[in-house]
Amino acid sequence: MSHAAAAAATVAEASSSFSSPRVLSIQSSVVHGYVGNKAAVFPLQLLGFDVDPVYTVQFSNHTGYPVIKGHVFDGGHLRELLAGLATNGLICHTHLLSGYIGSQSLLEAVAAVAGELRSAYPQLTYVCDPVLGDEGKLYVSQELVAAYKASLLPLANILTPNQFEAELLTGLEVKSEEQALQAAAALHDMGPHTVIITSLASLPHPEYSSPRLSEEVSGQPAAAIAAAHSTPQQQQQEQTAANDEHQQQQQQQRSERYITLIASTRVAQAPGCPAAFRMRIPKLQGYFTGTGDLLCALLLAWSHRYPDNLAAAVEHAVAGLQGVLQLTAAAAGPAVLASTDERSAAVFRAKELRLVQGQQQLLQPDIKIRVEPITL
């Protein structure tokens, strides 16, 4: 074979390496249960992706259990693995997914890997889940917040922070939809073209303004007593105040029943598809682990399927997650879901995600929740 023919064959082989989607998934893993890579690999494979998993930690089980055994890996471990792949011509990834990164060394290695993968395949899609903390509590050292901003966000295409992580990365308060959109815009400016803030608590719900609320005000005996000792104008003012207070209570109760997702993209969308939207997701009873890891994997998969329709990708991903959670909740049973024993191995074991049993829900999600477009 001539040198020209050999070169052409090499180019053809390299091109064919990227003909089907392949994900390098860098995140935690456990022997038992489904968090990190254990929650991501199987769903991605079901949806047509080859997956090469790299573990940032390898634990016996997730950290909610009373006992955890295993190992934490550093950046040298990741670099060594990638060197082996590169030597054998196995850098052929169309997607990169990163989750829990516990050290500066590892984060720097992930950034280097992202650059190497993008050099091999410039169209690489990098989905970054910045696992920093939740509900005001950091899972990692404070220095990693700055490291994410400096090293990973400029390389990421899709970013999936929760409410607390969006606040950490932007320095902005995120307590309303408007503030969430401001945070998303700030994150866009740091690099990612698509930002999905996956879980905002207690945002206002549109049903709050229902005219029926004024008809549902309780406490008629008190109102009757007040009416007997006040003028018509005072009665109207008192009724209005009572209605307002009741409406606020209704708002709080309803908002606590939902988690709000806010998404924004600067990628041109297909006609009629919104570039920014909200989704209100009903809460299920109980606490489940691995849900964020599963959601990010599904977002990667469905975003690949719908590159110019983020709304469809999110609807499919959330429906798949909800389907698995409903199966998991049903299998666990009411007693387990209502348990207040936060360190019981038996309770955590009963609430491990039913991924294998839920594969039909992952492949063909039943979409019951639709996005609501937001006008920017």
Query: How far is 337 from 343, CA to CA, in rounded Å?
Result: 13
Query: How far is 214 from 244, CA to CA, in rounded Å?
Result: 8
pLDDT at 257: 82
CB 137 within 8 A of CB 148: no
In this structure, the strands spanning 258-265 and 194-201 are antiparallel
Query: How far is 139 from 306, CA to CA, in rounded Å?
Result: 32
Q: How confident is the model at residue 53 (pLDDT cuts 50, 70, 90)?
A: very high
| pLDDT above 90 coverage of the chain, percent | 74
pLDDT (average), residues 226-241:
54
The chain-wide mean pLDDT, for the chain, equals 86
Q: Could you tell me which residues come within 8 angstroms of residue 239 by beta carbon, excluding any fewer than 6 positions away?
A: 217, 223
On the question of pLDDT at 373 being above 70, the answer is yes
Which tokens in the block code for residue 9? Answer: 């064959």
Q: How confident is the model at residue 220 (pLDDT cuts 50, 70, 90)?
A: very low
Query: How far is 61 from 338, CA to CA, in rounded Å?
Result: 22
pLDDT at 245: 58
pLDDT (average), residues 163-190:
97
Q: Check residue 31 and report its DSSP letter.
A: S
**Around Cβ 282, how many Cβ atoms within 10 Å?**
10
Give the position of tokens 């003012």: 237
Among 140, 194, 134, 146, which Cα is nearest to 170's?
146
pLDDT at 251: 47
258 vs 228, more confident: 258
Task: Please list the active-site residues.
Answer: 293
Cβ-count burial 175-188 (b if 16+ within 10 Å, e if not): eeeebbbbbbbebb
What pLDDT, in 10s, does the model give residues 291-301? 999 999 999 99
Q: Tell me if residue 241 falls in helix, strand or coil.
A: helix
CB 39 within 8 A of CB 293: yes
The hierarchical CATH code for the domain 17-202+258-373 is 3.40.1190.20
CA distances from 292 to 43, 198, 199, 302, 353 (A): 13, 8, 9, 15, 12
On the question of pLDDT at 21 being above 70, the answer is yes
On the question of pLDDT at 222 being above 50, the answer is no
pLDDT at 341: 84
The H-assigned helical ranges of the chain are 3-17, 37-46, 75-87, 104-120, 143-147, 163-170, 177-190, 220-228, 232-255, 291-305, 310-332, 334-337, 345-350, 359-363
247 vs 49, more confident: 49
On the question of pLDDT at 223 being above 70, the answer is no
242 vs 327, more confident: 327
Q: How confident is the model at residue 360 (pLDDT cuts 50, 70, 90)?
A: very high
CATH 3.40.1190.20 in the chain is located at 17-202+258-373
What pLDDT, in 10s, does the model give residues 234-286? 556 666 665 555 554 454 445 568 999 999 999 999 999 999 999 999 998 88
Among 191, 376, 177, 185, which Cα is nearest to 276's?
376
pLDDT at 153: 98
20 vs 5, more confident: 20
Q: How confident is the model at residue 287 (pLDDT cuts 50, 70, 90)?
A: confident
Q: How confident is the model at residue 213 (pLDDT cuts 50, 70, 90)?
A: very low
| pLDDT above 70 coverage of the chain, percent | 81
Q: Could you tell me which residues come within 8 angstroms of residue 294 by beta carbon, excluding any fewer than 6 positions away?
A: 34, 39, 40, 43, 320, 321, 324, 353, 355
Q: How far is CA 102 from the centre of its chain?
A: 18
Look at 40-54, 136-150, 225-239 and tell me which has the smallest mean pLDDT: 225-239
In this structure, the strands spanning 125-128 and 95-98 are parallel
pLDDT at 343: 80
Pick from 13-22, 189-198, 286-295, 331-340 the range whose average pLDDT is largest: 189-198
Give the position of tokens 């990098």: 126
